[in-house]
Amino acid sequence: MGELGPKLRAALEGVPASRPPSRQPSRLSSSAGAPGTEAQQSPPQHSQPQPVYKLSANENPYPPLPGVIERAVAGAQGINRYPDLWCGELTRELAARFDVPESHIATGTGSVGVTQQLLQITAQPGDEVLYAWRSFEAYPVLTRIAGARPVEVPLAAGEVHDLDAMAAAITERTRLIFVCNPNNPTGTIVRRAELERFLDRVPSDVLVVLDEAYIEFVEDEDFPDGIDVYRGRPNVCVLRTFSKAYGLAGMRVGFAVAHEPVAAALRKTAVPFGVTQFAQDAAVASLRAEAAMRERVTALTAERARVSAALTGQGWALEPSHANFVWLRTGERTDALAELCAHEGILVRAFNGEGARISLGEPAANDRFLYVAERFRKELPGV
């Protein structure tokens, strides 16, 4: 017998192995109180370790929106049954909310789940998938798993998408283009006129995905709402999620809005019963708590302004963020910053050689980060 084991797809060799972190934080702060209420925290004591603040995954620090837990708990009686295969109530609610036909909506297990389906419906081995870099980490991983070829176009000065270079990088092999707007991890946006100009240059048989995971945090008046953009463009697909502004990251539910052929293909490739009834119910209840969602987003964007101004005051050069995180271009010092943060009980997302992405959390978490950022500049100058 050989020692070779089962033959696996060669495409997987280009995908980094995923491993759990070696050490889990022991005292993760679970969630802040709703805005305007004091967080339930015991006064700091020397004998007690400080809570660990997770500012590494762009999660919402606030608890689920009013009505969400009640609705999800009520559904617990039914978990011996499969969920609604078609996500009917959620689809109807989304269609009404965005004034689009139900047939234009495809739900999935988080928008990352829908992203995987987007690759399944467009990309075959040898095809090209185009996106800016650095951008969302799922793009290269899912592209490689599909056996397609990632074509990464470096961000331009100011950490923005270089749409001219992206248009120039389109070939007859290009099948899928991601425009992450706002961009994760830089927080920058593509504005309406430049997006329309770019879309005019993309061949009509290439699908363009507007990944709008952070749209609720955008205040810029020239930001293009993808749902307006897609209406006149059959090759545009909008991707949204309940994980960020709606605070349902743990539920795994996201959706695409696209013209019927694309949406129907996405529904074909969905994992059957992938979106649990808990997730469907929580998403519906969250949509109905729009006002509370807006209030929390306002609290987070206020923190974004406060943290950004404080960092600028400390001497950091940063581009304005339009999302629920800030990006510091710390280059080779990035791991050092992340280590100092970890030492002080803050988890951030570090891309060594490039920069660090720090999610906006509750004010106490942000204050702690600002304290570390200032210390870092004093103790390790050179960024």
Ligand X SMILES: *Cc1c(COP(=O)(O)O)cnc(C)c1O
Which stretches of the chain bind ligand X, using CB under 6 A?
58, 110-112, 136, 180, 184, 211, 213, 241, 243-244, 249, 254
Render 308-323 in DSSP notation, one character per residue: HHHHHHHT---PPP-S
Nearest residue to ligand X, by Cβ distance, number only? 110
Q: How far is the CB of 214 from ligand X (least distance, A)?
A: 7
Nearer of residues 174 and 241 to ligand X, judged by Cβ: 241
**Phi/psi at 187 (5° precision):** 80, 5
The CA distances from residue 144 to 78, 149, 209, 238, 241, in Å, are 38, 7, 17, 22, 23
Q: How far is the CB of 111 from ligand X (least distance, A)?
A: 4
Nearer of residues 119 and 383 to ligand X, judged by Cβ: 119
CA–CA separation, 183 vs 176, rounded Å? 17
Spatial CB neighbours of 112, under 8 Å, sequence gap ≥ 6:
138, 142, 254
Render 32-71 in DSSP notation, one character per residue: PPSTTS----PPP-TTSPPPBEE-SS---SSPPPTTHHHH
**Phi/psi at 78 (5° precision):** -100, 15
Q: DSSP 3-state assignment of 356?
A: strand
Q: How far is the CB of 280 from ligand X (least distance, A)?
A: 14
Spatial CB neighbours of 57, under 8 Å, sequence gap ≥ 6:
249, 349, 359
Nearer of residues 187 and 345 to ligand X, judged by Cβ: 187
Nearer of residues 58 and 308 to ligand X, judged by Cβ: 58
CA–CA separation, 61 vs 245, rounded Å? 10
Nearer of residues 100 and 180 to ligand X, judged by Cβ: 180
Q: Residue 299: enclosing H or E segment and its boundaries? A: helix 290-314
Encoded amino acid at 135, one letter: S
Nearer of residues 140 and 345 to ligand X, judged by Cβ: 140
Q: How far is the CB of 135 from ligand X (least distance, A)?
A: 7
Q: How far is the CB of 327 from ligand X (least distance, A)?
A: 12
Nearer of residues 323 and 338 to ligand X, judged by Cβ: 323
Nearer of residues 181 and 334 to ligand X, judged by Cβ: 181
CA 135, 137, 143: angle at the middle one, nearest 5? 100
